[in-house]
């Protein structure tokens, strides 16, 4: 990255205020800026740093006003945060490896690769795999037989995709993600042992899905485990067999979803949420961190907290009582003692 303020402003449809020829080669927080860095100012509480930052260029709102002399060149845009995100995307694209198939990768002869595909060292691509255009497959990725991968998808180092799974376009799977491992299905036997139930389904991941590092998505016992378009899964999430997650739902780290549960669209789950199997969660539901969900949540767009999950407004009222329980217990014991003494 080595651009002038003028070039950046043209790319963002912004207006330069200051030296249009000043160059930047990296990015930095506004409070940690240094010469050659580009920063942005979107949150008003950071406004004081516009006077002290050493960054060469700062993206600011087109309507913002500042008193006194400023050292950085400003680029005025409609939304500094969104514009900064556009620049980061540009940097990311510039860092993409050039299309090539590493000689130490292994690609079965029946696999079909699209144009401009990158395959890193020690990656394996199985029989009858179909890979779209502009796909990045980093080193040590395993792609099983009969897998399909859509265009512009990125599989980072160590991703494992089992046989028969389907990955859509513009998806990202981060390091160590496992897609299509067997679901946790075992039948109890009379002697107390467990017999494994064959897991013959697959996983379907639609377009624009991002899967965090070391997240696991189990294949269905029969049919498909389905992750709908636009879903974002954080690191260290477990999605069990036959689960369906609705479009544009986001789930934070260490959440576990048990088998055959159906999650609606546009839901938001905090970290360490636990969801039991064979239930349904309505569209737009928000679950606070560490919420436990043992039953179906039918009402859309509600917020739940606690274990078992409770509507947030009820939880807030109840929590006031929770905090008073020790004092209430002491008062009750005192009353019991008093009553007992009177009855003697």
How do beta strands 202-205 and 186-188 pair? unpaired
Assess contact for 19 and 2: CB atoms under 8 A: no
Assess contact for 216 and 234: CB atoms under 8 A: no
d(CA 202, CA 159): 16
d(CA 241, CA 221): 6
For 309, residues 6+ apart whose C-beta sits below 8 A from its C-beta are: 287, 291, 292, 293, 294, 295, 297
Query: What is the C-alpha R_g of the chain?
Result: 27
For 327, residues 6+ apart whose C-beta sits below 8 A from its C-beta are: none
How do beta strands 37-40 and 57-61 pair? parallel
Ordered DSSP codes for 170-183: T-EE-TT-EEEEPP
Q: Is the peptide bond before 210 cis (omega within 30 degrees of 0)?
A: no
Q: Both tokens of residue 110?
A: 């029946």
Helices 80-95 and 5-12: crossing angle in degrees, nearest 10, is 110
d(CA 88, CA 184): 40
d(CA 266, CA 11): 31
Write out the catalytic residue numbers.
241
């Amino acid at each position: 990255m080595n651009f002038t303020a003028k070039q950046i402003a043209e790319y963002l449809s912004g207006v330069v205020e200051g030296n249009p020829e000043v160059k930047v080669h990296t990015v930095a927080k506004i409070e940690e800026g240094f010469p050659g860095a580009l920063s942005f100012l979107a949150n008003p509480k950071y406004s004081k740093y516009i006077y002290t930052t050493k960054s060469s260029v700062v993206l600011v709102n087109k309507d913002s006003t500042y008193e006194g002399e400023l050292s950085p060149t400003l680029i005025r845009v409609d939304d500094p945060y969104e514009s900064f995100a556009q620049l980061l995307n540009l940097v990311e694209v510039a860092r993409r490896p050039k299309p090539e198939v590493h000689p130490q990768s292994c690609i079965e002869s029946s696999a079909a690769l699209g144009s401009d595909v990158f395959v890193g060292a020690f990656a394996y691509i199985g029989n009858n795999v179909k890979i779209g255009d502009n796909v990045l497959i980093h080193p040590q990725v395993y792609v099983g037989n009969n897998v399909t991968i859509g265009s512009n998808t990125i599989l980072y180092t160590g991703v494992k995709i089992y046989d028969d799974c389907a990955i859509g376009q513009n998806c990202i799977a981060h390091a160590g993600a496992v897609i299509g491992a067997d679901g946790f299905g075992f039948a109890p036997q009379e002697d107390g042992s467990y017999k494994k139930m064959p897991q013959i389904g697959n996983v379907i991941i639609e377009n624009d899905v991002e899967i965090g590092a070391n997240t696991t998505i189990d294949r269905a016992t029969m049919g498909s485990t389905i992750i709908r378009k636009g879903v974002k899964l954080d690191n260290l999430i477990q999605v069990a067999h036959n689960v369906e997650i609705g479009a544009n739902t986001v789930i934070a780290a260490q959440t576990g979803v048990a088998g055959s549960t159906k999650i609606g669209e546009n839901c938001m789950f905090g970290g360490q949420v636990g969801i039991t199997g064979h239930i349904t969660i309505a569209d737009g539901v928000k679950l606070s961190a560490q919420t436990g969900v043992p039953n179906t949540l039918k009402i859309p767009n509600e917020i739940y907290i606690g274990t078992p999950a409770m509507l947030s407004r009820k939880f807030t009222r109840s929590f006031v009582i929770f905090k008073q329980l020790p004092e209430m217990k002491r008062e009750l014991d005192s009353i019991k003692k008093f009553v007992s003494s009177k009855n003697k």
